[in-house]
Amino acid sequence: MPSIKNLILQGEGVNLDFKKTITSTEKIAKSLVAFANNRGGKLLIGVADDGTIKGVKSEDEEKYMILTSAHQFCKPAIEPNFEEIYVDDKLVLVVNIPESDTKPHYALDDQKKWWAYIRINDKSVLASRIIVEVLKHDNKDGGVLISYSENEQKLLRYLEENERITLKQLSKLLRCSFRKAQKILVNLILTNVVKTHTSEKEEYFTAVK
């Protein structure tokens, strides 16, 4: 593993998150779930957002909060493992979250609702229904058998001419329900024909080149 200082220099990203301290079991559940639903990741506790090493005062308290969050605020539960590393006499708690083989995971919010999150760059972002369906299939062996019906062909022709499409545009193009459009997109994502692009503001789809 690269040294903690090198990791911090990389900055927060798809598989790295800094937390000065754990203030809320709900908030930390979002990060845990986003990493487990992605390719795994590390939380560095005792490191400020700008990369300054602050150190943790009580690693036992932080561990307790994280384990409570992982077991009670994540569904299915997540099993993180911990490393304690001293940097310049300050203790950084490294929380390793492996990529899950029981996706999708959901985090409980303060309204007692369960939501799935994924990691986009350095943010834990709410997963759309399409992403949740793709995550469900992520763990299943065996591919998706797909036959290109007129609808799939229409979508691929549209993407050749326009490069990108949203769920709403596809539903309009095919004159079908959002649910049916969603199913078509999920199948094409799973067979690596279409890929999804998600940001906090929008989700759109392009053909895989």
Nearest to 124 by CA among 5, 204, 17: 17
Position 44 confidence tier, pLDDT thresholds 50, 70, 90:
very high
Q: Where a domain ends, among 73, 102, 126?
A: 126
193 or 2: which leads in pLDDT = 193
67: confidence class by pLDDT, cuts 50, 70, 90: very high
| Helices and strands of the chain, counted as H and E runs | 7, 11
- Strand segments (E) across the chain: 16-19, 41-45, 74-75, 81-87, 90-97, 106-108, 114-120, 123-126, 164-165, 194-198, 203-207
User: Would you say residue 95 lies in a domain?
Assistant: yes
Percent of the chain with pLDDT over 70: 95
Domain of 39: which CATH number? Answer: 3.30.950.30
User: For the ranges 13-22, 86-95, 198-207, which has the lowest average pLDDT?
Assistant: 198-207
CA atoms within 13 A on the CB side of 209: 2
At residue 146, does pLDDT exceed 60? no
Residue 145: CATH number of its domain: 1.10.10.10
Q: Domain count of the chain?
A: 2
Q: What range defines the domain where residue 146 resides? A: 137-207
Alpha-carbon distance of 182 to 199, in angstroms, equals: 18
At 88-137, the pLDDT tens digits run 899 999 999 999 999 999 999 989 999 999 998 899 999 999 999 889 88
User: Could you tell me if 115 and 193 lie in one domain?
Assistant: no
